Amino acid sequence: MKRINNYFTSNTSATSAKKNCTQFDAVEIINSSPSGSCNFELTTEKVFSKEPSFSTDTYKLQLEDADDGPKQPRLVCYPKTKFGKRMRHFSSKWFHSYNWLEYSIIDNSAFCFPCRFIAKNKDKPIFISVGFKNWKNALDHNSGLKKHNNSEEHMISNTMWMSYLDMKKLGNLSVASLINEGHKKLVLENQNYVKMIGRTLLYTAIQGIAQRGDNEEESYANRGNFIELLNLIGDISDEFKSKTAQSLTASSLFQYIKEILSVHNVDILKCVAQTYDGASVMSGKNNGVQALFRQEVLQAIYVHCYNHRLNLVISDVCKNIPTVKMFFDIVENLYVFVSGSAIHSKFMEIQTIMKYRPAVELKRICLTRWTAQVFACLALKKGLSPLLVLLNKLIFEKGDRAAESKGLLHLIDFDFVFNLIIFCNILQTLKTTSDYLQNVKAEMAESLVLISSIITTFKAMRTDETENNNSNFNQMYIEAINICKENNISIPNEHKTNRVLSKNGLRQHVYIPALDYIIKELEARFTDNYCVLSSISYLHPQNEQFLSYEHLKPLAVHYNLDLENLRAELKILPTTIKEYQIQNINVKVNNLVNLIELLEKYKLAFNET
């Protein structure tokens, strides 16, 4: 038998030989003896006995090779490859962390045993046929062994392999049974993941707590109730924590959605609408998940949470108009400054002396909270007087606190007060609709009417005449003057003085731009699918125009119903409902659920409805 050259000549040269171990013929299998000595000779026969087995025409592992498991040769040293300025190599320690891992001495590459044996998807051949040898990134979280270990294709193959070994012990080697059991296990795991996510969402909804956090990055301490609850479940259940999406592209997420619907035997073609978070990967008009969904199911309109849309209008105004952004930055800076423990106690003391009951607490600006901005503005407006007293006292102290107080005091001028009045009015108007949208009894049609009313109100505010003393602008301007007089804040002349704008300047550079932006955003975010969505409310028995054909027609056209049959059904349905209630005294058709239950009983008669 031909021997592979032994590069280790003596004990004194063993260390240097190990350092120079960069070629195939410089590797040796450790054969430990009771005395602790090592035999460094390796025959060709021994090499190939340690090699992963491949069939002659493909890299698919043969069934009889499955019993042997992965080939995991432990070597004194492995061939080294240069990455940058360093030499790197495979490590036998990785076998302990990844029981599926196998190593080819001939190719100096790593493979995945169950994936070579079972995997159906050969689009990613690195661990199946090509071999992995990027030792530098082998243990990176987003590449190498860890990434493969967490991939869905690998988990399926590994589950089937484990099931195969279990069934082998029981004497059942049916491949069909192997695949079926592996699939069942994966389905149960996925159902458990979905159940946990659903229960978490349900918990936050029942408790009435916000799901989103101010900052959801991994480095942030508090990432919001939803993510923190999932992390808690993950700490309790390692299996749940290990489930991560392998790709977050729109096409991948759409594929996940289809798979979950398929698992639960839900026909995707029967989907009538879809709703997701407003992230672009989900809501994108061209390449988002909703767009991909509609390519396959045309009638599945996308409905983004209306309250979230309204919040986006507010947050966009707060950060996209320079003067408005500066105003809210100052509001936030005032909150941060006063919230310090020492200063906060002084702020409370001043309010006690000034007999503020209850004491005012400044609020933080948060772009992910629907009402944070309005509460921050209202609190600041109410607590402006004690705040100014506080800042005026602090400027006489020593250190950074005095300098910061002086800077903040300088920023609270007439422009700032006028912005405060404007946004207290605008945000309170929006809050009325926001409160309704959060109500569990909110109706789609009424929501759209409210949005339309707000747009009309803001347009009227924009076009009112400045000469009219009762105009919205003049009333807010007068209120700002009165507040400034009460707090000894300078009031500008009709012409611009220093950085403070005149009355006309405030209208042109603050008031009008803010209203224009809000109107534009409201119209852009709430006009899509208006006719279809507003039609839904006419199916509610409490609607004055209940079952009106003209109002339901846009809905019928969208879902491609037979209009003539629908018209005929709508003529006799009201009478049918009355007769049904007479015959069933205890039954009242007074909501959509009752209507659906009735239509289910008479579905042959009311096929289009």
The stretch 564-576 carries a mean pLDDT of 91
Which of 200-214, 415-429, 583-597 is predicted most confidently?
A: 415-429
DSSP 8-state secondary structure symbol assigned to residue 301: E
Report the alpha-carbon angle 132-133-136, nearest 5.
120
Q: Which of 515, 457, 522 is nearest to 306 (CA)?
A: 522
Q: Is the predicted pLDDT of residue 4 greater than 70, yes or no? A: no
Q: Is the predicted pLDDT of residue 274 greater than 70, yes or no? A: yes
pLDDT score at 489? 93
Q: Which of 366, 397, 403, 363 is nearest to 380 (CA)?
A: 363
Q: Which of 61, 43, 68 is nearest to 165 (CA)?
A: 68
Selected residue with higher pLDDT from 46 and 14: 46
Q: For residue 366, what are the CA distances in angstroms to 257, 311, 312, 328, 425?
A: 31, 11, 12, 10, 18
Distance CA 350, CA 323 (A): 31
Each residue's pLDDT tens digit, 499-530: 556 788 888 888 999 999 999 999 988 877 87
| Helices 400-411 and 322-339, packing angle to 10 deg | 140
pLDDT score at 552? 92
Please tell me the least confidently modeled range out of 2-11, 47-56, 149-158: 2-11
Q: Is the predicted pLDDT of residue 585 greater than 60, yes or no? A: yes
Distance CA 64, CA 273 (A): 50
pLDDT score at 487? 94
**Omega prior to 513 cis, within 30 of 0:** no
Q: Is the predicted pLDDT of residue 149 greater than 80, yes or no? A: yes
Q: Give pTM, 2 decimals.
A: 0.55
Instruction: Sketch the domain layout of the chain as residue ranges.
Output: 3-151, 177-306, 308-528, 532-601
Please tell me the least confidently modeled range out of 146-155, 220-229, 385-394, 503-512: 220-229
β-bridge mates for residue 29, sequence order: 75
Q: Which of 117, 121, 100, 119 is nearest to 66 (CA)?
A: 117
Distance CA 585, CA 604 (A): 24
What confidence tier does 180 reach under pLDDT thresholds 50, 70, 90?
low
Do 313 and 521 meet the contact criterion of CB atoms below 8 Å apart?
yes
Please tell me the least confidently modeled range out of 62-76, 86-100, 521-535: 62-76
What confidence tier does 20 reach under pLDDT thresholds 50, 70, 90?
very low
What confidence tier does 244 reach under pLDDT thresholds 50, 70, 90?
low
Do 150 and 140 meet the contact criterion of CB atoms below 8 Å apart?
no
Q: Which of 357, 382, 375, 322 is nearest to 510 (CA)?
A: 322
Please tell me the least confidently modeled range out of 104-108, 129-133, 273-277, 495-499: 495-499
Which tokens go with 315? 């947050």
Each residue's pLDDT tens digit, 43-62: 444 555 556 665 433 334 44
Distance CA 606, CA 596 (A): 11
How do 42-43 and 3-4 pair as beta strands?
A: antiparallel
Residue with tokens 């509610």: 540
What confidence tier does 392 reach under pLDDT thresholds 50, 70, 90?
very high
Q: Which of 416, 393, 386, 391 is nearest to 405 (CA)?
A: 391
Q: Given its phi and psi angles, is residue 384 left (phi above 0), alpha (psi -120 to 50 degrees) or beta?
A: alpha
Which tokens go with 77? 């040293």
Which of 31-40, 55-64, 87-96 is predicted most confidently?
A: 87-96
What confidence tier does 326 reach under pLDDT thresholds 50, 70, 90?
very high
% residues pLDDT > 90 (the chain): 28
On average, the pLDDT of the chain sits at 80
pLDDT score at 57? 38
Please tell me the least confidently modeled range out of 95-104, 117-126, 536-545: 117-126
Q: Is the predicted pLDDT of residue 410 greater than 70, yes or no? A: yes
**First-to-last C-alpha distance (Å) of the chain:** 83
3-class SS of residue 264 = coil
pLDDT score at 16? 41
Q: Is the predicted pLDDT of residue 254 greater than 80, yes or no? A: yes
Distance CA 598, CA 585 (A): 14
- Residue-wise burial string across 552-563, b where 16 or more C-beta atoms lie within 10 A, e elsewhere: bbbbbebeebee
pLDDT score at 166? 73
Q: Long-range pairs for 497-504 at CB < 8 Å and ≥24 separation?
A: 499/413, 499/415, 500/413, 500/414, 500/415, 501/415, 503/477, 504/466
The stretch 365-393 carries a mean pLDDT of 89
Selected residue with higher pLDDT from 486 and 593: 486
